[in-house]
Structures are given as C-alpha cells and as structure tokens.
A and B are shown apart, each in its own frame.
Chain A
C-alpha cells in the first residue's frame, strides 16, 4: 500500500470511529429521554467534546493529504466527500447533545403516551436506523443502500410536517403538559434535520463512489448529474 493509500484508509477509519460515537450519542440521548436518566444525559454532553475533536482531526488530516499528495480521481472525490460527511456528523452530534440538554433542563419526564401519539419515538428509531445504514453504505461503498436513504427520509419529513398538529392535540388534551410538549416539538424538528444530514451524507457517498452529483435535485428523485 502506498503512503497515500495508508493515509486515506486512516481517514476512513477516523470517520467510522466518529460515526460510531455519534450513533451512540444519539442512542444515549434517546435512552436518557425515555428513562429520564439525567446522568446519562450529562454523559452525552461531556462526550460532545470528543465529537468536536474528531471533526477537527478529520479536517486536519484531509488538509495534510491535499497539501502533500495532490490526490486525483477517486482519492480526490473521497476526501472532498469526507470533509462534508465530517461536518454532517458533527451537526448530528450537536443535535444529540441538545436533546440531552432538554432532558437535563426538563423538570418532569416526557409523557410516554405523548411521545407515541406524535410518532416521535418512531421517528427517533427511524433516524437512528438511517444513520446506521449510511455508515454501512460508507463502509461497504454501497450506493444502492445509499440511494434507499432518500425515500426513508421522506418518512421523517411526513412526521415532521404533521408535528404542529400532533403536538397541538397533546397540548389541547392537557394544558399543563405544554412545556414537555414543546420539548417534543423541538425534538421532532431536530430529528428531521438528522434525516436531512443523513441524506446529505448519502449524496456524498454516491458522489465519491460513482462521480455522480445528486445535490439540489427534487426530493427523492435521484436524477443523476454526471461529472461528464
């Protein structure tokens, strides 16, 4: 393996480690929310610093490779994708941390029935699955799996579109639960952004593997803009 190959593999490994960390952050935030475990939530906030330092490291490693190796073709595309995936993962990490913060700030635990009627739990599960699958697609360079992400993000979008109504119902049913209900609304909005970030990651994976650009194309129709 050439030095360049070694460095690119190292960047891949870094990203995957960051991915695993962000996944566990998201999972822990969910667990903390469901079981109302403030200690777990604090742990998530502390680990957020690690997510940030991962981001800095990946940025720096990519910068070094550009400076020293003049990468071209697939190596170049991979590094450009890695930089963007890096940013997306860091934002997902931020979202997990802010959900954990809600748990810490909230005086009362969130009502399970409310979480279900708004489909927030279902949304959370799907967001976590989508993130897991994008990681698999990245590791396996599986662009078919990456393409499937687009449709699944639609599910999250639907729940998000309904959120105003479903949360309004919860508030109407019990006015004193308004604080938690607003938290739930915020969390739904944030989960929708997790879905978008994952979709961006999927686009980057397809870009670097196939040299096809799918950005800014209408919803779930991945019409390719080839690099030709």
Chain B
C-alpha cells in the first residue's frame, strides 16, 4: 500500500509539472510577439509619426494619422450602431429565455460569431458598396458593427442572467413598470459586465482587416467623410508591410506597435472596470 502511495505521489508531481510547463509554453508566443513588435515599432513612434499622413513613395518621414483617425472614426460609428442593438437583443434574450424567438435568434448570434470576417466584408460589399457605387467608411463601420454584435449580445445576456430574480422582484413590488425595472435597475446593476463586453468587442474589431478590404478600402489622405473610402490601422499595416519600400515597412512596424498597445490597454481597462465597478450583489 505504501509503495502505491509513493508511486501515486510521483505521478501527481509529474502531472503538475507538465501542466505548469504548458502554461509557460502558452505565454511564450505572446511574449515573443510583444517583444519583437515593441522592439521594431517603438523607435518609429514620435509626435511627427502620429500627426502626419504617410509620405509619398521615396520621401522620408510621414506618419499614420489617416489610419489612426480612420480606425477611430469607423469603430465609433460601428459602436454607435452595435451597442444599442446588441444591448436590446441581449436584454430580450435574458428576459425571455424560453421563447422560440429567443432560441432561434440565439442560434443566429452564435452562427454569426463564427462567420469568417472576410465573408462579412463581402456581404457588406454587395449590400452597400455596390449599390452606392463607392467604397465608404460607412460600409466599413457596418461590417465592423456586424462583427461586434455577437460579443455585445452574448455578454449582455450572460451578465443580466447572472443577476438574481430578487432584484427584479424588489423593483416590481414597489410598483415600478417593467421598462423602468430593466433600464433603471437591471442594466445599471449589470453595468460592469455589459461595459466589459463592449470594450472587448471594440478590442476585437479594431484589429480586423479582412472586412475592411472591400468596404472602407483605404485612403492615403486624411478623410472624415463617411461616404468616401477611409484608411484604418490594420489595413495600413497590411498594405505597407507587403510593399517593397523600406520606409513603408517602418510605418507598418510603428502602426503595429500602436495597434498592439491599443488592444493591450483596452483589455487591461476591461479587467479594471470589471473589478472596480462590479456591483457587489
């Protein structure tokens, strides 16, 4: 019996060792990528870099202002579309979990989440770009919004489902009408969870390239018009990294660094929000 125990202990230690080892292994790619991009990109970033559009081929200098502004604008418009729609859908799904509509729309949301981003881009191309006859920032925003929706919907639904029924009951028993119960009690209590879902969805789409390929298309100049093509960070990285010019390669590294920092900061902000603003139930 004692020999068996000894053997079991050894097995246990070995197993633990393997698990810890693989945990380390997983962090390696992230660390390698981070280190490399930071190394390559950080030297590119300066005030000039951030406030100028790319220089024509051959000229030195230039920056990524058009891509920065474009990404910002398009993600904002996408958010304005996706957040209300997504929250409402999430609220419906959490309040009426057993209806047929909930089942089928939930199914659609899950399917949508798995649709390849380039397919989303192609669909928006046929819906909006072709009829309008031009690439536009709006179509790019719409494509991004479609990609944001599943995340916003599901995280809203999950957050609200976790809230105890007693909260609703307390409000209803005070004679509060249903819409106010949702808007003034349920959603505020689930605020941290919903907000973290939103920031996660933004972090996700800010780095999407494929849907913007046939929609926003790209623009070497700084533009604020939603009906004209617009540059975005991931698209700029794609174009410039695959170009034959060294200057443009440098721009791509710098842009990669900026993008990476954005995503990193958004993820950290999400974590902080969840911890700090989570309502203690």
**Touch A–B, Cβ below 8 Å:** no
Binding site for B on A (CB under 8 A): none
